A and B are shown apart, each in its own frame.
Chain A
Amino acid sequence: MTCLSKNEEGPELLAGYLARALDPAQMAEMDRHFAECSACRGFLSVWERLDDFSAPEVSPGFDARLYARIAAEEARRTWWRRLLWRPAVPLVAAAALVAMALFIYTPGQRPGRPEVSLPVNIEQVAQAVDDLDLLVSLDR
């Protein structure tokens, strides 16, 4: 077999060998190879050494701390949502009213309504002035 140190499948073969998960023929072949190859025995030794590196138990309060953080985060989110949404509704309503008022009282800037210049009828203007004079004289 190819030496584990020259074979990219080495880690997988080694893991399979140690888990006794390879087929019997492969297991026997690996046994023979380990017996004659010191470099591969080195891999075997590394794997065993790594077994010594145990991890400590998770502390008992782990879940409680996590749930407390989740609860705090949820509460913060709700608070922000309230803070953002409560004043937002009247603000949006006020902004809409202002926009509508501007639209109505600035006829020159209304979109889609171009100013139309009508021809001036001099006789109509003169008639209007005469009518005004008449009204003024009646007032007196």
Chain B
Amino acid sequence: MEAVAALERDAQLMLRVREGDDTSFALLLEGHRGPVVHFLYRMVQNQAVSEELAQEVFLRVYRSRATYEPTAKFTTWLFRIATHVALNSIRDRKKEKGHESLDEEMLDGMARQVADRQHTVEQEMVREAKLREVRQAIETLPAKQRAAVLMHKYEGLDYAQIAGVLSCSESAVKSLLFRAYESLRVRLAHMA
């Protein structure tokens, strides 16, 4: 019930943006900036790229304000834009991906070393290795399965919302998620 009320509020805010109320846009940005950036980060696994893509997502939201109609839940509409932007980026950046991942891993590693000084070096290395495996396992999923898992696991979207985002049926989403979790289970079985 709470979630429905929140979604209705977002649609109302977007309608106010359509009327030229920029404060409502600021409220939408405040509420959805984190989830969108985090979703994109897990999709492309690079912080700079994920923020650049998130900027593109919110720019598209702003550009669409004049034609916005609340036909779907706001979150569904927003994640549809985000997924579209992410899938395009993955397709375009496939060739340079190797270099980016390496850079990102190095930067992430350095950031974590500073942030988590309470861990011993050994604990940290084990944690790093496990995290790398999880990231690689997610990265090897087909892009659509990856998007479905990330929306389901981290963003709390239900089957109907994911179906709306990916423009497919709920049963197709169930199948996508099932195959994705099964792949991850097999790939990460040794970590159990």
Interface size class of A (residues with CB under 8 A): 20 to 34
B41–A55 contact, CB under 8 A? Answer: yes
- Count of chain B residues near A, Cβ 8 A: 41
Contact yes or no, A46 B181, CB < 8 A: yes
Contact A49 B191 (CB under 8 A): yes
Is A36 in the interface zone, CB < 8 Å from B?
no
Chain B 138-167 per-residue mask, 1 if CB under 8 angstroms from chain A, else 0: 100000000001001110000100000000
Is the CB–CB distance between B191 and A69 below 8 Å? no
Looking across the interface, which residue of chain B has its beta carbon closest to that of A56?
B47
Let me know if B153 and A47 touch, CB within 8 A. yes
Q: Do B42 and A53 have beta carbons less than 8 Å apart?
A: yes
> Interface SS of chain B: helix, strand, loop or mixed?
helix
Tell me which residues across on chain B come within 8 A of A58, comparing CB atoms.
33-34, 37, 51, 54
**Does A65 lie within 8 Å of B175, measured CB to CB?**
no
**B130 at interface, CB cutoff 8 A:** yes
Does A49 contact B134, Cβ atoms closer than 8 Å?
yes
**Contacts of A34-74 to chain B: CB distance below 8 A:** 39, 41-43, 45-47, 49-50, 52-53, 55-56, 58-59, 62-63, 65-66, 69-70, 73
Q: Which chain A residues have a beta carbon within 8 Å of chain B's beta carbons? A: 5, 8-12, 14-15, 39, 41-43, 45-47, 49-50, 52-53, 55-56, 58-59, 62-63, 65-66, 69-70, 73
Known contacts A8-B174, A63-B29, A69-B55; A56/B41 CB under 8 A:
yes
